[in-house]
Structure 1
Amino acid sequence: MCPIWPLHLIILYLLALCPLWVICQAVPDLTATFMPANLTVNMNEYEYIDFTVTGTGMQAGDQFTLSTLNSHLAAADWNATQLTDEHVQSSTFRGRMKVTGKFLGRTNVTLQARRGTESYPVKNGFPVIVVRPERVIDTIFVSSVATFVSLIFINFGCAMHWPTVKNVLKRPIGPLIGMCGQFLFMPLMSFGLGFLIFPNNPAMRLGMFFTGVAPGGGASNIWTFILGGNLNLSLAMTSISTLASFGFMPMWLFSLGQVVFRNAQIVVPYMRIATFVIGLLVPLGIGLAMQRFTPKIAAFMVRILKGFSTTLLLFIIVFAIVTNLYIFELFTWEIIVAGMGIPWLGYCFGYAAARVCRQPHEDALAISIETGIQNTGIAIFLLRYALGQPEADLTTVVPVSCAIMTPIPMTCIYIYQKIKACFINRRKHKKMLEEDITPRGDSPQPAIISTADLYGKSGKGLDPDVRTDLGNDNPEAGVSVAN
């Protein structure tokens, strides 16, 4: 055996590895650095970013290309240039790219070195966050809705019958049912439904849960009035649930809320809730004062309440859709089901629970509407505090979907009531016409004239022929005598 037997194996391995080492030296090993290190850009806006590529393996004629992991969210482009000998000698390439935000979300811009038909990745991507800009139309929408809602609550104050509200508070069966639905059923239902619809998306589950723990919305009073429910009960329940939300919302947010999204820094918006309470109670107080001191104006406000309420609902729905058209791109079947599930299940539970407790239809309708309609504004506010951008805007698609789906059952019931009333009125009108056309009888009834009418007090002035007819009891005379 050759004494250097193992050495020839080592030599063979070295001879085989040397070409591989030469090839590896030719492969670019590049790293990119960006200034700034990341970018937050508004939708439909762009920024210029400087970058530097350093490393080994550059060759004259190589090119750099840009690509975005999700081209739907952002786009990056630049005027590509070939590497020169100067770039190769310095092992450095500097360039500038243009990054355009297209839609909400997070993505990365990456570079590749291209040599002929081969592409080589460049280390370090560039993170891009696309957010929604603050617009004037958003401020106009919020301000106008706040103004109109204040006016509608003044109308409610004018229409409120305070003795009835006192009776509701003395026998608080309806408010207790509403409280159970609002602060027990709705949070637990939204918690379970969130895990069922979004098993792998905790941010969306948080959006559902925040919508479920929010107090009842002011639209519940409007719909209760339009559909013929107990308005006084609805107003009392809204006031009670809003005040109770100071305790129940923190309880749910710091218990199940932590389970849904442990890393979220949840901040309970006490000031927002307090503002909502004041915004509810002050207009109601103004309306009650008008009811007492200016009864004629209060009566006029009550007369226009139904038309004004309907107009306000249409305004909110149409304006909200127009100002947030971008969010419909996020709608999927899961978002639609979530938006339907929260209010519609609340309606069903509230009405069923009220009827089981033997509440009249008007009270059950008010309880059902109060349970199903959520204050999605507070839910959106919570999400903006709990999450950073763009997740805050992305997860608000859940309460927005809920707000869009909420009035659909109420609108269907309203249309049904109108169609039913139309048929009933037509039937009554037809019946009245038939009664007017029907003949009274074929032969006239004989007139009954008393003897006092015939003779008067003394019996004077009676025609002799009439006396003869009466005396003969002639049936053809057409006159009968009342005894």
Structure 2
Amino acid sequence: MMRMGVLLLAFMLIVGQLALPAESWQAHFKPASLHLQMETSAEVELHLWDIPSELGSSANRYSFRLISDDPHLASVAPENATIPLHATLNSWTGRIRIDGHFLGEARISVRLWDAWTNRSSQSANNSDSSQLVAQVLRPERIIDHVFVGSIILLMSLVYINFGAALNVEVLQGLITRPVGPCIGFITQVLGMPLLSYALGIFVFPESPAMQLGLFFTGIAPSGGASNTWSAVLNANINLSVLMTTVSNVAAFGTMPLWIFTLGQLIFERAGMQVPYGKIATYCGSLIVPLFIGLAIQRCLPRVAHWLVRLLKPISACLILFIVIFAIVTNFYLFQLFSWQIAVAGLCLPLLGYTIAWLAAKLLNQNAADALTIAIETGIQNTGIAIFFLRTTLPQPQADLTTVVPVSVAIMTPLPLMGIYLYQRLRRVKLGVEELPGSERQRIV
């Protein structure tokens, strides 16, 4: 028995030697929250006190280390990552450099490191200042403003061409017999929000932020690119412009309705302001160039005929410009891309196209009108979605959630490009260079 007692005592002494000292020391960051831009650095002050004397007497064994919970976003500079101990000091104060790498939020904490056991422990002090919250933001760039300005200019030119190409008599017929617009309105205003909500829960079950990004994309009105694709794919431009206009005007009521009903389930914060001015500006930017084009059609018919001939080339160039420039200006977001984001970005427009086309065909719409309704339903105004996210969420969460509408914007043209290639190959196979007269009359 005595021998067993001696062995137990020896074991306890060894464990005591290996155990970390009491976590009575404390850490304090000043400031406790730091905002810095990507690929930049900033310094904060760190104060350590109540350091036990036994730590200083074993300086070759113990040290303090600063550890980031996500070094991909923010990390401590290598020269500041380890703080050695001194036998005569029970406190330490110094400047720590934090390096910001990518969008997001990282928490940096101080841990006591034991080189003998390769273990670490955190201070018992759990105050807000015991950890540093480093939020990495995206810097404002001139290229972002250039991109927006270029899009506004090019879209204005395209809508002038649309106005010159509109057949007013056909447009009046669509208003008096609004079967097609009604189908598109229901699939756009009712179907897409429900689809985006269900898809968000299925694809992002553990990420409400990404669900929010997808839902805001689904409740946005149809985008101006739908008119462009309608021209490129030989659909009904008159119906397309009418549906786009109705969708954007209705967005004044439908967007807040969805946000404060179904949206509350994934976005619990109330009192969110709807950007009425933004929607009004978009509607105005759509209607004004159309009226300019209509005026050209009435007063300068020869110029209008020339503009109509340029409609498809300009529309195709606009699509390429938007896709390429969007990728270049938002290239940093590709680091956030995952298979879930890619799937969500593709499935939302693809399912929208499919459901709307099936609904139109079931209700006896002709091929051109069914294609137009599908295009109008599947193409969302991702700019409005991004605006909503950036005005309702703090940074960097606002930028992080915009990866979803950016993904949708990039993936949206893919099914339409497939249709375009199919049409081109079919024309080559049949030896047809121009559209049939009945379809061409929908454009001219």
Q: Identity across aligned pairs (percent)?
A: 44
1:44 alignment partner, SS class: coil
Structure 2 distance, partners of 1:285, 1:263, is 40
Q: Tell me if the contact between 2:74 and 2:98 (Cα under 8 Å) persists in the aligned partners.
A: yes
Name the aligned partner's letter for residue 312 of structure 1: L
Q: Tell me if the contact between 2:112 and 2:122 (Cα under 8 Å) persists in the aligned partners.
A: yes
Structure 2 distance, partners of 1:335, 1:26, is 46
Residue of 27, 42, 45 corresponding to 1:47: 42
Deviation at 1:86, TM superposition (A): 4.1
Structure 1 distance, partners of 2:324, 2:85, is 55
Structure 2 distance, partners of 1:223, 1:278, is 21
Residue of 56, 74, 94 corresponding to 1:59: 56
Match of 1:158 in 2: 164
The gaps in structure 2 that reach 5 residues or longer are 1-11, 124-129, 434-444
Structure 2 distance, partners of 1:322, 1:251, is 35
Residue of 306, 311, 316 corresponding to 1:300: 306
Structure 1 distance, partners of 2:84, 2:411, is 55
Match of 1:95 in 2: 94
Q: Tell me if the contact between 1:76 and 1:100 (Cα under 8 Å) persists in the aligned partners.
A: yes
Distance 1:53-1:170 versus aligned 2 partners, 3 A rule? same
Distance 1:360-1:54 versus aligned 2 partners, 3 A rule? same
1:196 alignment partner, SS class: helix
Structure 1 distance, partners of 2:431, 2:16, is 94
Match of 1:70 in 2: 70
Structure 2 distance, partners of 1:410, 1:25, is 63
Structure 1 distance, partners of 2:15, 2:272, is 55
Deviation at 1:26, TM superposition (A): 4.9
Instruction: Report matched runs for 1:9-408 at 5 Å.
Output: 26-57=21-52, 58-60=55-57, 61=59, 62-77=62-77, 78-79=79-80, 80-87=82-89, 91-118=90-117, 119-123=119-123, 124-263=130-269, 266-408=272-414
2:170 alignment partner, SS class: helix
2:50 alignment partner, SS class: strand
Deviation at 1:158, TM superposition (A): 0.7
Name the aligned partner's letter for residue 68 of structure 1: S
2:234 alignment partner, SS class: coil
Distance 1:25-1:330 versus aligned 2 partners, 3 A rule? closer
Structure 2 distance, partners of 1:411, 1:21, is 70
Deviation at 1:361, TM superposition (A): 0.7
Structure 2 distance, partners of 1:420, 1:218, is 27
Match of 1:420 in 2: 426
Deviation at 1:120, TM superposition (A): 4.3
Name the aligned partner's letter for residue 302 of structure 2: K
Provide the TM-score with structure 2 as the length reference.
0.87
Name the aligned partner's letter for residue 153 of structure 1: Y
Structure 2 distance, partners of 1:424, 1:344, is 28
Deviation at 1:28, TM superposition (A): 4.8
Structure 2 distance, partners of 1:202, 1:426, is 50
Match of 1:448 in 2: none
Deviation at 1:310, TM superposition (A): 0.3
Distance 1:402-1:25 versus aligned 2 partners, 3 A rule? closer
Deviation at 1:286, TM superposition (A): 0.8
Name the aligned partner's letter for residue 220 of structure 1: S
Distance 1:162-1:121 versus aligned 2 partners, 3 A rule? same
Deviation at 1:59, TM superposition (A): 1.2
Match of 1:7 in 2: none
Structure 1 distance, partners of 2:224, 2:362, is 26
Instruction: Report the structure number with the largest CA radius of gyration.
Output: 1
Name the aligned partner's letter for residue 36 of structure 2: V
Structure 1 distance, partners of 2:143, 2:361, is 44
Q: How many residues end up aligned between the 2 structures?
A: 410
Q: Tell me if the contact between 1:29 and 1:122 (Cα under 8 Å) persists in the aligned partners.
A: no
Name the aligned partner's letter for residue 55 of structure 1: D
1:84 alignment partner, SS class: coil
The answer to which structure, 1 or 2, has the higher relative contact order (CA under 8 A, 6+ apart) is 2
Q: Tell me if the contact between 2:390 and 2:399 (Cα under 8 Å) persists in the aligned partners.
A: yes
Q: Tell me if the contact between 1:28 and 1:120 (Cα under 8 Å) persists in the aligned partners.
A: no
Name the aligned partner's letter for residue 22 of structure 2: V
The gaps in structure 1 that reach 5 residues or longer are 1-16, 428-483
Distance 1:285-1:81 versus aligned 2 partners, 3 A rule? same
Structure 1 distance, partners of 2:20, 2:337, is 50
Structure 2 distance, partners of 1:29, 1:134, is 44
1:6-63 deviation line (CA, Å, top 9, x unaligned)? xxxxxxxxxxx99999999953522111121111111111111111011131415243
Q: Tell me if the contact between 2:18 and 2:116 (Cα under 8 Å) persists in the aligned partners.
A: no
Structure 1 distance, partners of 2:254, 2:65, is 54
Structure 1 distance, partners of 2:177, 2:23, is 81
Structure 2 distance, partners of 1:348, 1:195, is 20
Name the aligned partner's letter for residue 293 of structure 2: G
Name the aligned partner's letter for residue 259 of structure 1: L
Match of 2:438 in 1: none
Deviation at 1:117, TM superposition (A): 2.2
Q: Tell me if the contact between 2:353 and 2:378 (Cα under 8 Å) persists in the aligned partners.
A: yes
Q: Tell me if the contact between 2:51 and 2:91 (Cα under 8 Å) persists in the aligned partners.
A: no
